[in-house]
Structure 1
Amino acid sequence: MAYLDHFAQNHLPPKELMADIILDDPDFRFPDELNCVDYLLDRHIREGNVDKIAIHTFDGNWTFGQLFEKANQIAHVLTNDLDFVSGNRVMIRSANNPMFVACWFGILKAGGIVVATMPLLREKELTVMCDSAEISHVFCDARLLEEMIAVKSDFLKKICAFDGTGNNPSELERLMHDKPTSFDNFNTASTDISLIGFTSGTTGKPKMTSHYHKDVLLICEAFPKYSLQPTPDDIFTGSPPLGFTFGLGGMVLFPFYFGASTFLIEKASPDMLLKAISEHKITICFTAPTAYRVLTTLVSDFDISSLRKCVSAGETLPLKVWNDWHEATGLKIIDGIGSTEILHIFISSSEENMKPGATGLAVRGYEAKIVDHLGNDLPSGHAGRLAVRGITGCKYLNAPDKQREYVENGWNITGDIFKCDEDGYFWFVARGDDMIISSGYNISAIEVESVLLGHPEIAECAVTAAPDEERGMLVCAHVVLKDLDAACAEKAKEIQEWFKLAAAPYKYPRIVNFIDQLPKTETGKIQRFKLKQTS
């Protein structure tokens, strides 16, 4: 059944600008008529898992039956009370909690398109999203209403508050109260848009990426089968917001696809993650390299013997962080690279085929290669642009120029510089805009960061280029010291001299800028574009 609101379909890029889609495995073939909620949620009810726990929290649990009924009631609220039509874009503004997940499923059941956001976004950012995606409805945690109400958008019809705490019913709960607990899902096609994900803003203004109903299921057949081998007994957790596709996959899609459960934490600080793992016997954890660095310093105080898989993405994983975690726990962090454009991880490892320091191999469902600036294939060992294609691909909405930049000759060009070794392993070199050319030398900002992280007094750092008339660019290190009070010119000189002994001297940071904290997105990615403005 076609959507009544055609916005998303009308703003897809033309087919000639889309990436090649390769579905050469029977596991990647789904019916033409498909609502992804049927497999992720409704199937568990049909299979008799009504009373199986789907969502754990520190305050209590939701079974698959409870989640199913609440999602159905939310779908009824949309279709009966809120002047909603199929194809409308519905925003969710909330931290990671069970009502977020119920809203996510309810929107798709009703034939809506989910636009999930992160709690820390403010009026300006929310307004851009509402105007760009022509958002008609918002489900907002009552604790986050202030910024949402401040949004002025001509497209916005209704902001409906819900209770993310489970203790103080709000408007959505009141509307749900007398609604039926069954609902006939909207009959979507597998190629109908299910969600719009805004890129995380590490390089400036976010872009709208779109994904089909079948894409949501396809990624569950890729990375998790390749790297995690989930079972129904697994309990997933992590720190990424569900508004970020890394978090959505790791803490909703993957566990539910395999009949497992998820543990949601609204404010997933390292100590809260460890508390959850220890007390609730978590088996699979998704978080960022910056978190693993802190977790390593705290882990000896917790029992994490239940944990069997650790996944890192969002930023490159420094080898030192991998080694320190492995030494402290015996666990091997599974590194991975994904993108909002491709939906989830497309290069990674399993514990069996891992090379520490390498991002890994193309996961099942994808292929990757290294190309030069003209799109020509590069031999092994040569740094170049990462190109990827497979079961999912970039589909920017209403941005043909950006689509042409991201997709070349059917391949997704991710914006990352990688090398591929003779065994097919991909090694991260830099973001495309993080290669610093100074006095003719090509210097990877990420490589300089990795060296600096070995300094005993440095807690965190990020490296950018600073313009210079003589050398073209200078290496500028933005450094967070473990002891913030130790920052001074003498300390900067000391770090520079130490670096020259630890790595090639031409790579040393000629500028050391001490800061109290690195600017980051809510997903833990360092916002280097903000640092570049101060370089």
Structure 2
Amino acid sequence: MRLTPSAHVDTFTRDGLPPFDQWPELLLGARDAAPTRDRPGESPGPGRLNCGAELLDRTAARLGPGRPAFRSGTGEVWSYGRLREHVDALARALTERLGVVPGNRVLLRGPTSPWLAACWLAVMKAGAVAVTVLPQHRPGELATLCAIARVSHALCDIRSVAALAEARVPGLRITPYGGGGPDDLLTLAAAAPGPYEAVDTAADDVALIAFTSGTTGRPKGCMHFHRDVLAIADTFSRQVLRPEPDDVFAGSPPLGFTFGLGGLVVFPLHAGASSLLLEEAHPRQLLAAVTEHRVSVLFTAPTAYRAMLDELAAHPQAYDIGSLRRCVSAGENLPAATWHAWYERTGSRIVNGIGATELLHIFVAAADDAIRPGTTGLPVPGWQARIVDGAGAPVPDGEPGLLAVRGPVGCRYLADPRQRDYVRDGWNITGDTYVREADGYLRYVARADDMIISAGYNIPGPEVEDALLAHPDVAEAAVVGRPDERRGEIVTAYVVLRPGAAPGEETAEALRAFVRARLVPYKTPRAVVFLDALPRTPTGKLQRFRLRQGG
């Protein structure tokens, strides 16, 4: 396998790619690389491609710069032409004032907003590599992510600067935006107007690093190419979601999650549609946004759909969500009962899907008449899936096994030996246990590892354990997921206290606060159970299955 000559001056990401013999097999077809001029989004083979230019410049040229692109919760609307002006000015500021060169890693941090999305597009056009993180990440987490990706620059909403500064990342140049000072990114951009010609990146130059914690140890950086960004739009979005230029997208996942990046930036721009970018997108706020802005495509998790059903039942006259024509669910398994309840209440059929940070977005789903509640669906066109045993051999239909997939996007961890665990015999092993029905439909069974999936968030139990064990009163800790009707699972901590520490709600709340100060809040245990000892085998191995069964 050969890569196209890179445009990156800073070659860190290409140098950190796994060896070719550890790559998954890629199913590359007519949509895997640089688009042609007469068929936007399509081409016969690899070449030069800048996904920022394709999503923004090419769409504006194709459908006109006057169409709405981004909307804010305050009612502000940016056209494609205005968005392009902002992005070009930001890209000039990045390269001419801040010294960013192609291949540099640029961390993006802030609430979901048009400015955060514009920064992402500017990083793409400048040929740099975006590392988008959550505004809730704590200083220690930020320091780790920056160290792994060797981040040199950060563009940070002024409201999210404090924790990043506290991380004390060596050599990191932090540029705030939204504060109005002379060194503010928006001030620098205002002084650098005019068109910006996107860097002529290779289709297989790394465009972004998305982090996933996995179930143990150090976070893993998932590297995705410029062509990958368009591949998810040309597969799930174009083939299953089928958006239209007049659609208005909205949803709850932040842009630091690839579920949110695809659903709120890549897919609407690829289709020439618009996206409502909300800083706060809890279920009640989503319903209000759909009502006010006539949202037609919604992305969120099953937990939010259940909460919105409760809100609609409690306040049936408060919301008008008749504009919805596409509802997408991912992040955790969608129960059939939730699907039916939403359909009965709204008349809208939820498109269930499974994706992974390693694969950028959704690769199994079904829409319209192909939907079968209780299953995830079928492989998205352009993707293949099979169910295998622990040795990688296919298992018969009807029997549970590990979900293995391959398609136009594959797992490429940044300089990480765990690449061999995720990619086996050319297939991506997602860590999910599935059953394939005789007619090809895929039905979720459970996670095959220690990942807890709560309200759509992936939470590695061992990471929460490490945080608990740092507390002086904790002798042992084990963290597992406990089934929960509303959230799918809740983070449940089983704790053995040191002598002298008293079990009880006061101690439990103190432990929650301790974890909350060190990790993103959604990883905080919702339930804390005190035990005299953790269940172990005669050899001392922790028996997590007993904890999942209630002790």
TM-score (structure 1 length as normaliser): 0.81
Q: Does 1:279 align with 2:292?
A: yes
Query: What residue in structure 2 maps to residue 221 of structure 1?
Result: 234
* Equivalent of residue 150 in structure 1, options 166, 169, 176: 166
CA distance in 1, matches of 2:45, 2:78: 29
2:352 maps to which residue?
A: 335
The two structures, once aligned, show a CA RMSD in angstroms of 3.1
Q: CA deviation at 1:155?
A: 4.2
- 2:46 corresponds to 1:41: no
1:353 equivalent to 2:370? Answer yes
Q: Which amino acid aligns with 1:384?
A: G
Q: Hey, what does 1:87 align to over in structure 2?
A: 103
Does structure 2 retain, via aligned residues, the 8 Å contact 1:347–1:360? yes
More off after superposition, 390-399 vs 312-321: 312-321
Question: How many residue pairs end up in the alignment?
Answer: 469
**Which residue identity does 2:363 align to in structure 1?**
F
Structure 2 equivalent of residue 489 of structure 1:
none
Q: Are 1:308 and 2:325 matched, yes or no? A: yes
**Structure 1 counterpart of 2:86:** 70
**Does the Cα contact within 8 Å between 1:110 and 1:186 map onto a contact in 2?**
yes
Displacement of 1:24 in angstroms is: 3.6
State the 1:333 CA deviation.
1.2
Q: Which residue of 2 aligns with 1:115?
A: 131
Residue number in structure 1 paired with 2:22: 17
Q: Is the 8 A contact 1:226 1:350 kept in 2?
A: no
One of 341, 351, 355 as aligned partner of 1:324: 341
Q: Distance in 2 between matches of 1:70 and 1:218?
A: 26
Indicate which of 268, 288, 292 corresponds to 2:281. Answer: 268
Give the CA deviation at 1:298.
Answer: 1.3
Deviations 1:502-528 (A, max 9, x none): xxxxxxxxxxxxx99x99x97979989
| C-alpha distance in 1 between matches for 2:233 and 2:158 | 32
Shift of 1:384: 0.5
Q: Which amino acid aligns with 2:423?
A: V
Corresponding residue number in structure 2 for 1:102: 118
Where does residue 256 of structure 1 map in the other structure? 269
Given residue 266 of structure 2, which amino acid in structure 1 is its aligned partner? L
SS at match of 2:370: coil
Aligned counterpart, 2:224: 211
Asked if 2 retains the 8 angstrom alpha-carbon contact of 1:30 and 1:190, the reply is no
Partner of 1:398: 415
Structure 1 residue 246 corresponds to structure 2 residue 254: no
* Aligned-partner Cα distance in 2 for 1:91–1:335: 31
Moved more, 426-435 or 175-184: 426-435
Matched position secondary structure for 1:47: helix
Contact kept? 1:434, 1:464, Cα under 8 Å? no
Q: Which of residues 408, 411, 416 in structure 1 aligns to 2:424?
A: 408
Q: Match of 1:124, as an amino acid?
A: G
Matched, 1:6 2:32: no
Structure 2, unpaired ranges of 5+: 1-5, 32-41, 453-479, 496-504, 506-511, 530-543
Looking at structure 1, the residues matched to 195 and 225 of structure 2 have their Cα atoms a distance apart, in angstroms, of 24
Q: Note closer, same or farther for the CA distance 1:530–1:425 as it changes in structure 2 (3 Å cut).
A: farther
- Does the 8 Å contact 2:494/2:528 carry over to 1? no
> For 1:99 and 1:319, how far apart are their aligned partners in 2?
37
Q: Does 1:161 align with 2:166?
A: no
**CA 1:463–1:321: 2 relative to 1, 3 Å:** farther
Classify the secondary structure of the residue corresponding to 2:186.
helix
1:129 paired to 2:170? no
| 2:384 matches 1:371 | no
- CA shift at 1:81, angstroms? 1.1
Of 416, 426, 431 in structure 1, the residue corresponding to residue 442 of structure 2 is 426
Counterpart amino acid of residue 139 in structure 2: E
The Cα of 1:177 is off from its aligned counterpart by 1.5
Q: What whole-Å deviation, never above 9, does each CA across 1:4-39 have from its counterpart, x for those lacking one?
A: 111000010010000000124455745501111121
Contact 2:329/2:352, CA 8 A, preserved across alignment: yes
Q: Which runs of 5+ in 1 are unaligned?
A: 437-444, 468-483, 485-514
- Give the deviation of 1:265 after TM superposition: 0.5
The answer to whether the 8 Å contact 1:235/1:284 transfers is yes
Deviation at 1:154, TM superposition (A): 2.4
Deviation at 1:529, TM superposition (A): 12
Pairs within 5 Å for 1:492-507:
none
| AA at the equivalent of 2:168 | K
> How far did 1:325 drift?
1.4
Judged with a 3 Å threshold, the aligned counterparts in structure 2 of structure 1 residues 229 and 331 are, in CA distance, closer, same or farther, namely same
Q: Does 1:233 align with 2:246?
A: yes
Would the aligned equivalents of 1:28 and 1:221 in 2 still touch at CA under 8 Å? no
SS at match of 2:156: strand
Give the Cα separation in 2 of the matches to 1:522 and 1:291: 19
Q: Which residue of 1 aligns with 2:67?
A: 52
State the match for 1:388 in structure 2. Answer: 405
Amino acid at match of 2:136: L
**Distance (whole Å) between structure 1 residues aligned to residue 411 and residue 196 of structure 2:** 32
Q: Residue 204 of structure 1 contacts residue 529 of structure 1 at CA under 8 Å; is this kept in 2?
A: no
- State the shift of 1:336 in Å: 0.5
Range with greater deviation from structure 2 (27-36 or 370-379): 27-36
Alpha carbons 1:23, 1:29 under 8 Å: kept: no
Partner of 1:495: none
Shift, 1:462, TM fit = 3.8
Q: 1:284 to 1:524 in 2, by over 3 A?
A: farther
Q: Which amino acid aligns with 1:138?
A: A
Contact 1:336 1:346 in 2 (8 A): yes
- What is the alpha-carbon distance in structure 1 between the residues aligned to residue 216 and residue 18 of structure 2? 22
Per-residue CA deviations over 1:111-166 (Å, capped at 9, x if unaligned) read: 1000011111010110001100000000000011110111222242x1000018xx
Q: Which residue identity lines up with residue 273 of structure 2 in the other structure?
A: A
Residues 251 and 109 (structure 1), Cα distance of their counterparts in 2 relative to 1, 3 Å cut: same
Contact 2:253 2:300 in 1 (8 A): yes
Distance 1:421 1:29 in 2: 34
d(CA) in 1 for partners of 2:92 and 2:527?
43
Shift of 1:293: 1.0
Give the 3-state SS of the residue equivalent to 1:68 in structure 2: helix
**Inter-partner Cα distance in structure 1 for 2:208 and 2:221:** 10
TM-aligned CA distance change 1:412 to 1:94, over 3 Å: same
